[in-house]
Amino acid sequence: MEKLKSNIFFKIGVIIFLILILLIPTSMVKDLIDEREDVQTNAIDEVSLKWGSGQTITGPFISIPYDRYVKRFNKKDSINEIVKVKEWAHFLPENLDIRGEIKPEKRYRGIYEVVVYESKLKINGNFNNINFKQFDIEKANIHFDKASLNFGINDLKGIEKQVSLKWNNKNISFNSGTSNKQIVSSGINALVPLRKDSIVNYEFTTEIDLKGSQYLYFTPVGKTTDVNISSDWNTPSFTGTYLPDERTVSDQGFTSNWNILHLNRNFPQEWTGSKYQIEKSSFGTDLLLPVDNYKKSYRVAKYAILLLVLTYMTFFFVEIMKKVFIHPIQYLLVGIALIVFYTLLLSFSEHIKFNLSYILATVLTLTLISLYTMAILRSKQIGFFIFSILLIMYTFIFTIIQLEDYALLIGSLGMFVILGIVMYFSRKIDWYDIKLGKE
């Protein structure tokens, strides 16, 4: 047993075995991070469900029903018969101008913050392309009297007050729901008067007070679509198919402007049926909370094996250089302390900023390991040495987390330097003639 105790290759095997064993709780830590992130998502969904979910404004567009006659085989009578089928033709506006203001606020569900908002949108534009000649449909089959102007809105409970439409100086009230489901499945509609004997320019204006959460998007349905949004929120993310042509972000908030042409998207100004999924062209603003603690915690956890290997390597070289003996159980306890670091980091980051959480968890973990090292080796010098080495390693990981775009570069250079240091200090060790502990 004494020979086995001082056998260096046996100790290396034990260390490798411990590292592999400790990867199991490490993976459990990653699962815990995912679980806590799911809890946060559920909290956000719960608040959004009651207040109003993320909103996408699609429209306005005019839908006009018409009759189409098709030949169909009647199996019962074994004859071909002519059947009348109801179809829809859709027309998009010539010009669309949207100006809006977003007023966000924070709500809380337990320890989690959720961003909700109230918005005031003024929408105006015009239609001058209501023409069926290109579709080769007879006027007698077109129901101009049932033409409707539709707005797609994701969550109708976000509408705060009655929405009215000014259509060529005529006031019209909107109804709940869309006249058909071919373009959007949720929204509002209003019957609008159209002339069927000539092409007329129709101007419209409406205002929508809309509540929502997380984001506000728009779909560019105009031949020319101009969207101007302002808010006092200072951490927006402009996402979707198009980025703003102009944007200004400061501590006081942001302003943004999009100007999109029909040539920039992949659907026309008029069509029949459900040929196009126009919501895929939406764009807008995410109201982000400056909180990414779960993503950062997960990234730190990905380096767990690196920290385990480097920490155990440090203790192993201390054994060799200082002629001391560290029991495998003591290695195991140090490894468990390293794993507890991640749970400390995760729990702290849910209540305070991530960087401060990392510093606090690091100080607590390194202090525990250093004091334990002093106790088992009876050497303050070795304890301070372990503390210093581990502090450098944790600072290295912290730097990688902060420099996300350069993480691979910094990580590769750091590993190269660490490998060089290990090779330097181990260059004179005779691995075939070395025993652990005091001779």
The 10s digit of each residue's pLDDT in 96-119 is: 999 999 999 888 877 788 889 999
Q: d(Cα 384, Cα 375) in Å, to the nearest integer? A: 12
Contact criterion met (CB below 8 Å) for 90 and 272: yes
| pLDDT over 90 (residue 15) | no
Q: What is the dihedral of CA 88, 91, 96, 99, to 10 degrees?
A: 0
Q: What is the pLDDT of residue 439?
A: 47
Question: Average pLDDT, stretch 209-213?
Answer: 94
Contact criterion met (CB below 8 Å) for 109 and 192: no
Least confident of 179-183, 322-326, 327-331: 322-326
Contact criterion met (CB below 8 Å) for 57 and 150: no
* 215-219/224-231 β-pairing: unpaired
| pLDDT over 90 (residue 323) | no
Q: What is the pLDDT of residue 404?
A: 67
- How would you label 281-300 residue by residue, b for 16+ Cβ within 10 Å and e otherwise? bbbbbbbeeebebbebbbbb
**Confidence tier at 77 by pLDDT (50, 70, 90):** low
Percentage of residues of the chain with pLDDT beyond 90: 48
Pair of tokens at residue 416: 């190269």
pLDDT digits (tens, 9 = 90+) for 146-172: 999 999 999 999 999 999 999 998 999
Q: d(Cα 437, Cα 439) in Å, to the nearest integer? A: 6
| pLDDT over 60 (residue 1) | no
φ, ψ for residue 419, nearest 5 deg = -60, -40
Using alpha carbons only, how large is the chain's radius of gyration in Å? 33
Which residues make Cβ contacts (< 8 Å) with residue 261, sequence separation at least 6?
Answer: 223, 224, 225
pTM, 2 dp: 0.77
**DSSP state letters, 160-173:** -S--EEEETTEEEE
Domain assignments of the chain as residue spans, ordered by start: 2-40+294-425, 53-290
